[in-house]
Amino acid sequence: MRCLLGLAAFLAALTPAGAATRRDASPRDAPIRVAYDPPILATDVAIHRELKRRRVLEGLRTAIGGVRLPHPLTLRLSACGGAADAWYESRSRTVTVCYAYVLDVQARAPAEPSHAGVSRRDAIVGPIAQVFLHEVGHALFDILDVPLLGREEDAADQFAALVLLELPPAQARGAVEGIAHLLRSHASEESVEEVLLADDHGLALQRLYNLLCLAYGADRRTFGDLVESGALPQTRAGQCAAEYHQAAYSLGRLFQHHLRVGGGERTRIPRAFRWMVRP
C-alpha cells in the first residue's frame, strides 16, 4: 500500500520484517550538510535566492534523513561556471546540482499543458526531484558501500524512480509525466552516435522507457493508460511487473541495514520543489 512516506519509510516498507532493527557497525550517524553557493552569473541570482528561501536542500535532507550514514554527505547547489549539470563527487562526498540545470528544466517546461497533457508544474517538479534523487542514489551507493551489478547510472535512475513511485498515485503520476517530458526533450536533441552509445548513461529514450516500465510495473491502475496510448510498447509492458519487483526487492535488501530504527521524517518529497512552478 502506498502512503505519504519519506525515503526511509519507503525503504523500510521494502525490508523483510525485523531486518530493519539490526544495527550495523557504524559508530555514529554522520550529518547531512547543505550548501547554497553564491551565484556568479546574473541569471543565477533569482534562482539561488528562491532555492535558498524555499529551503529545497533542507527538504531533501529531511527526506533522506532516515538513512544512517557512516560519513558526512553534503548537498550543494552551485553556479558550476554556468554548466547545466549535476553530479556526485566521491572524494568530498558531495552531491552538486547546478543552478543552470534547474533553469534548463524550467526552460524546457511547457508554459501551458503540453499535447500529452503535461503541466508546467509537473514538468519542473518531477525532473528536479529526479535529478536530486538520482545523485543521492550515487551518494548512498558510495557512502554505504552498496554492491551493484550493471551500470551505476541505471541503478541511480532506478533508485530515483522507486522513491518517486512510492508517492501517492496522483503525485507519482505527475512526477513520471514531468520526467518523461524532459527525457523526450533531451531525446529530440540526441542522435545515435558512437560516442553516445559508449557513454555510461543510457540514451534518453532508453531512460524514458525504463521509467515508464517501472511505473507501469508498480501500479497498473495509475499507469495502465501508458500501454493503451502506446507510450509504453506492449512488447516491454509484459515484463514490467517483474522488473519493478526485482528492483524494489533489490533496493530493500541492499539498504535494509542502513535505516534509522523507527524511520525518518514523513515528508512528501516533492514538497520542497513545488515552489519552482511559476504562476
Whose Cβ is closer to Zn ion: residue 108's or residue 201's? 201
Q: Which of residues 225-264 bind Zn ion (CB under 5 A)?
A: none
Binding range to Zn ion, per CB under 5 A, among 27-35, 36-44, 64-72, 149-157: 149-157
Whose Cβ is closer to Zn ion: residue 11's or residue 97's? 97
Count of CB atoms situated within 10 Å of the CB of 162: 23
Question: Least distance to Zn ion from the beta carbon of 152, Å?
Answer: 7
| The only residue of 156, 208, 240, 248 in contact with Zn ion, by rule CB under 5 A | 156
Question: Least distance to Zn ion from the beta carbon of 157, Å?
Answer: 8
Residue count at the site for Zn ion (CB under 5 A)?
2
131 touching Zn ion, by CB under 5 A: no
Count of CB atoms situated within 10 Å of the CB of 157: 24
161 touches 180 (CB < 8 A): no
133 touching Zn ion, by CB under 5 A: no
Binding range to Zn ion, per CB under 5 A, among 42-50, 97-105, 150-158, 251-259: 150-158
144 touching Zn ion, by CB under 5 A: no
With cell 550517524, the residue in question is 29
Binding range to Zn ion, per CB under 5 A, among 142-150, 156-164, 190-198, 202-210: 156-164
DSSP letter (8 states) at residue 265 = -
Whose Cβ is closer to Zn ion: residue 37's or residue 153's? 153
Question: Least distance to Zn ion from the beta carbon of 88, Å?
Answer: 7
Grid coordinates of 264:
525518518
Question: Least distance to Zn ion from the beta carbon of 158, Å?
Answer: 11
Secondary structure in 3-state letters for 197-238: HCCCCCCHHHHHHHHHHHHHHHCHHHHCHHHHCCCCCHHHHC
Whose Cβ is closer to Zn ion: residue 37's or residue 142's? 142
Angle (deg, nearest 10), helices 204-218 and 169-187: 160
Side chain identity at 258, as an amino acid letter?
Answer: H
Alpha-carbon distance of 273 to 51, in angstroms, equals 9
* 3-state SS assignment for residue 65: coil
Closest by CA to 255, choosing from 163, 157, 132, is: 163
Question: Least distance to Zn ion from the beta carbon of 86, Å?
Answer: 8
Binding range to Zn ion, per CB under 5 A, among 13-21, 52-60, 148-156, 254-262: 148-156
Question: Least distance to Zn ion from the beta carbon of 101, Å?
Answer: 12
Sign of CA dihedral 69, 71, 76, 82: negative
Whose Cβ is closer to Zn ion: residue 142's or residue 219's? 142
155 touches 183 (CB < 8 A): no
The residues binding Zn ion (CB under 5 A) are: 153, 156
